[in-house]
A and B are shown apart, each in its own frame.
Chain A
């Protein structure tokens, strides 16, 4: 267990979720008699969930900052219908349509961000209003009709990487991306290791690092293999590509930039952040605005995939996105969460959905199971925080938990200090 813990780092939730994801995949692979890990199914899974995962990226930032956004489904639907309309009636080319959609998302986000950050209305209320508002706008603008979108536009929702180069039996671009990803992972972790060593920070043991790399690279290569060997004409899907780029960008922003730090700071302790010079209003405005831009993008991808926009697009997406974020380790009280965790959380839900479907489980049971999974994941988190109370599960899980107790340290005696000073 200790070795496993070392492998996946100190974060129990993240570790637990990756573990759960792998276990789920293995479970379904066995019980669907191998129908889970087929190229067709995996591609399908990505295509069918990419928009939820994109929402989860924005949602995790909103939740880290201590808010919530209930309007994403409606915003996505409104942007989708407006863009479809603009392309049909105003003759926008597809790429202008995409830019227009992102702009629209930004305007909507600015509206919601204004109320949340500068007027101080809880995001729950603002976005609850937004949920009604933009659903209404969607049906008003689209007159509750379905509006088809042009072929070129459909590419962002249902396109694949093209076939280029020699015929290798694989999709060459997909293979290339897979290899680049593997190289990237190896180089980054080696660099991080070297840097930590140079600074004298704690470095995990070599075998831990190597095993970790082998596992990650193996997973990437296997996924590459699946994507590259689909039926002719399919390969790594474009929505998946967009998602991957977004994960890289947002992961970087959250982890490495001043803005990202500020989001965590505001969510962790708003007063302390303000007294450290963080402009919390600006931060809140930015995360709300960003969420709506991503919602707009998700809406467009969905419309592109389903070849037309409709009055009921994006219904209950907000719930799927929020569930993904919480399963992925974010805290209800803010300040905690990661982009990659939310993606894993989203994938857990997606695999569950997909696997149950393959097994022929009805929508009713599927919902019940998903509900229980969400509850269990968050209960695990809450339990982790309120340690100290002994329970049987607590004893059993003791080794899993990060030690959160606040330990008062031994007091320094004055004499000791004075002697050190001398």
Chain B
């Protein structure tokens, strides 16, 4: 049933040379992972390193045949064709975004898709009995009839685990389980995972919170750029946070950036005490009194882990398009400006390229020329009548100067590759002629060559005397591109480093702790 490794420990799971390609991107290349029965195995890596992709391969989200390599689980080669197949084998994945239905009760959620029945009718008495047992196992004392929306995120996470236990889980995969939890809820969850380990449940945990990993993991596999780098044994190798960070970021910077001589001018954009509340949750702040400035011709980086509040900061600045504005003031060229609507922000000379190109950045029904002029229609219209000739020639100019690969500007944007779509979005904002362009993950989902071109465009914009803010999860990108980098942790700016004093480790430290250094 189970095989043994050289030291005689039983191996539960072995993933051998997993390679997974998406069009234009190699997400995983020859990744190997070995998980012992009964251990807690952490997977660490930067955003986009391929952790989630690997877990999706394991759980059958990407079915057998869509990747190469072998999954050996309980000493048998597995060919999961969907999640149901992997769940039947006892592998349950709990995603970062919880898959619970808010209107249904705890009990209904636990048994969703798996309802105990008698003669085809749901046996609620049985369900109740079993859910009480399961809730006891995860240490939750709420009534099983409580609707999910009435319990906090921490408890919801426990319900997810109860749901997994109901499926007689052998291997539990937790993707960023504590990302949305506060200190005490996180601790409770970690204790629970340790408790499950005592009862023979093996766990794989993906987390950015390195202190937690250090606390509970037995082994750590580090993934970087879609490759498995090393597997560390916490006890044997004496692993600490610094060691993990080194593994996560230890890549050499190749010449992935065009040469650039910054011409930095005076401060022209300044944000003071910017405070914004969560759009739904009262009393929760997504920006905590942020202060920062941008100089002309400067590329300013914003580093932070996912969920740290980078995008929220950018979008709340850009016409208050996210969250509840509480206080703060924006100054442009020394004068206070009011950015109360997106229109006002655009008129004040701001542009914002969203991280979520498909759902926030583009109308996928549009063609290239319509998209290019969409944010500055007044520039190509007379008395509100759009001059379609100007539209065409503007779009054509940008197609040439940004080298967008398309047969014609009348092509639909949905047909373009990620890199070319991004160029169209950039063209749209360049055409508004902003003084400050905020780029949120400008190279997400884009292949290496197109990245290089986009870096070139960003630098050109800075050379024209515009300020550029680049928000990115990829530290090498920020280091290669920015003149100055702010770090954000849990909605607060935790530091600012100059290009020459910043490196990945110093940034990662500021990004993962509330330590104030600026």
Binding site for B on A (CB under 8 A): 195-196, 198-202, 256-262, 264-265, 268-269, 271-277, 279, 335-336, 404-414, 416-418, 420-421
> What residues of chain A lie closer than 8 Å to B25, measured between beta carbons?
411
Contact B452 A417 (CB under 8 A): yes
Q: How far is the CB of B474 from chain A (nearest CB, A)?
A: 16
In whole angstroms, how far apart are the Cα atoms of A406 and B357 in the complex?
15
Residues 165 to 182 of chain B near chain A (Cβ within 8 Å): none
Q: B363 to A272, Cβ gap below 8 A? A: yes
Binding site for A on B (CB under 8 A): 23-25, 256, 258, 318-319, 321, 341-343, 345-346, 352, 354, 359-366, 370, 374-375, 377-378, 381, 384-386, 388-389, 392-393, 396, 403, 405, 408, 410, 414-420, 428, 447-450, 452-453, 456
Q: How far is the CA of A409 from the CA of B256 in the complex (A)?
A: 21
Chain A residues lying within 8 Å of B378, measured Cβ to Cβ, are 258
Known: A200-B396, A276-B375. A256 touches B405 (CB 8 A): no
Residue of A nearest to B378 (CB): A258
Chain B contacts for A414, CB-based, 8 A: 256, 448-449, 452
**Minimum distance in angstroms from A350 CB to a CB of chain B:** 29
Closest to A192 in B: B388
* Smallest CB separation, A403 vs chain B (Å): 8
Cβ contact within 8 Å between B343 and A279: yes
With a cutoff of 8 Å between Cβ atoms, the chain A residues found around residue B416 in the complex are: 409
Q: What residue of chain B has the Cβ atom nearest to residue A10's Cβ?
A: B410
Cβ-defined partner of A277 (8 Å) among B343, B385, B420, B449? B343
A14, chain B: closest CB distance, angstroms: 15
CB pair B365 A336 closer than 8 Å: yes
How distant is the Cα of A319 from the Cα of B238 in the complex, in angstroms? Answer: 73
Question: Which listed residue, A256, A275, A421, touches B360 by the CB 8 Å rule?
Answer: A275
B450 contacts A412, C-beta separation under 8 Å? yes
Partner of A413, one of B360, B374, B449: B449
- A261-B370 in contact given A407-B415, A414-B448, A421-B258 (Cβ < 8 Å): yes
Whole-angstrom distance between the Cβ of B382 and the nearest chain A Cβ: 10
Interface residue from B24, B318, B365 paired with A275 (Cβ < 8 Å): B318
A277 near B359: Cβ-Cβ < 8 Å: no
Check A259–B452 contact: CB distance below 8 A: no
Q: Once the chains bind, are B408 and A201 in contact (CB under 8 Å)?
A: yes
| Bound form: Cα–Cα A410–B258 in Å | 22
A-B contact pairs, 28 of them (CB 8 A): A201-B408, A202-B410, A256-B386, A257-B385, A258-B384, A264-B363, A264-B365, A268-B365, A269-B362, A269-B363, A275-B360, A275-B361, A277-B319, A277-B341, A277-B345, A335-B363, A336-B365, A408-B417, A409-B405, A411-B24, A411-B447, A411-B449, A412-B405, A412-B450, A414-B449, A417-B449, A420-B403, A421-B258
Q: Is the CB of B453 within 8 A of A412?
A: yes
Pairwise interchain contact B360-A271, C-beta atoms closer than 8 A:
yes
Contact B24 A408 (CB under 8 A): yes
A406/B362 in contact, CB under 8 A: no
A277 to B362, CA, bound (A): 13
Interface pair A199/B392, CB less than 8 Å apart: yes
Minimum distance in angstroms from A342 CB to a CB of chain B: 17
Cα–Cα distance between A414 and B443 once the two chains are bound (Å): 14
User: Once the chains bind, are A272 and B453 in contact (CB under 8 Å)?
Assistant: no
Would you call A418 and B452 a contact (CB within 8 A)? yes
User: Which residues from chain B contact A201 at a C-beta distance below 8 Å?
Assistant: 392, 408, 410
User: When chains A and B are docked, how far (Å) is the Cα of A277 from the Cα of B414?
Assistant: 21
Q: Which residues of chain A are near B414, meaning CB under 8 Å? A: 404, 406
Closest 3 CB pairs of A and B: A408-B23, A412-B449, A268-B363
- Whether B392 lies near A409 (C-beta < 8 A) is no
* Contact of A199 with B342 in the complex, beta carbons under 8 Å: no
- Give complex CA distance A327, B389 in Å: 31
When chains A and B are docked, how far (Å) is the Cα of A28 from the Cα of B21?
A: 56
B392 surroundings in chain A (CB, below 8 A): 196, 199, 201
B321 lies within 8 A of A274 (CB): yes
Besides A199-B393, A202-B410, A408-B418, 16 new A-B residue pairs in contact (Cβ under 8 A), listed by A number: A199-B389, A257-B384, A261-B374, A261-B386, A264-B365, A265-B366, A268-B365, A272-B362, A272-B363, A276-B428, A406-B414, A411-B25, A411-B448, A411-B449, A412-B419, A414-B452
Across the interface, do B342 and A274 meet the contact criterion of CB distance under 8 Å? yes
B365→A335 contact, CB < 8 A: yes
Q: Let me know if A273 and B321 touch, CB within 8 A.
A: no
Question: Roughly how many angstroms separate A250 CA and B170 CA in the complex, as a whole number?
Answer: 63
Closest residue of A by beta carbon distance from B418: A408
Contact (Cβ within 8 A) B386 A269: no
CB distance from B322 to the nearest CB of A (A): 10
Cβ contacts under 8 Å, A335 to chain B: 363, 365
**In the complex, which residue of chain B has the Cβ closest to the Cβ of A402?**
B412
Q: Which residues of B contact A273 (CB under 8 A)?
A: 363, 374
Among the listed B23, B359, B405, which residue makes an inter-chain contact with A271, where contact means beta carbons less than 8 Å apart?
B359
Contacts of A409 in B (CB 8 A): 24, 405, 416-417, 419-420
Min CB–CB distance A268 → chain B (angstroms): 4
